[in-house]
Amino acid sequence: MPEINHINLKNAEGLVYCCLRNKLVKLDEEQEQTFCKMCKMYAGPAGGRGVECVWEDMRDVGNPHVVTDPHEEFKMNQMRQVGPNFLSTLIVFG
């Protein structure tokens, strides 16, 4: 899986999608100090407009992947892809 740089820009409410916590978070001092500071995915402050997070992404997205709608990004990340290996496992053990 390719490592993708996700450039998560804060929306009007100051929210971004956090992969580590798998939810929308307010990108404030608490989030940055408690989570981003120690997160292995952290890759920068997106020019002061959000947060950059690098992680392996199964989806067919560009690199970098610029996120302007964290709500949509959250939804897209809840759809788990089912690949052929998973299906053949079901056939063998099902």
**DSSP collapsed to 3 states, the chain:** CCEEEEEEECCCCCEEEECCCCEEEECCHHHHHHCHHHCCCEEECHHHCEEEEEEECCCCCCCCEEECCHHHHHHHHCCCCCCHHHHHHHHHHC
Site string for ligand SF4, 13-42 (x = CB under 6 A): ---x-xxxx-------------xx--x-xx
Site string for ligand SF4, 44-73 (x = CB under 6 A): -------x-x--------------------
Task: Tell me, by CB under 6 A, how many residues bind ligand SF4.
Answer: 12
Residue 18: CB minimum distance to ligand SF4, A:
3
- Contacting positions for ligand SF4 (CB under 6 A): 16, 18-21, 35-36, 39, 41-42, 51, 53
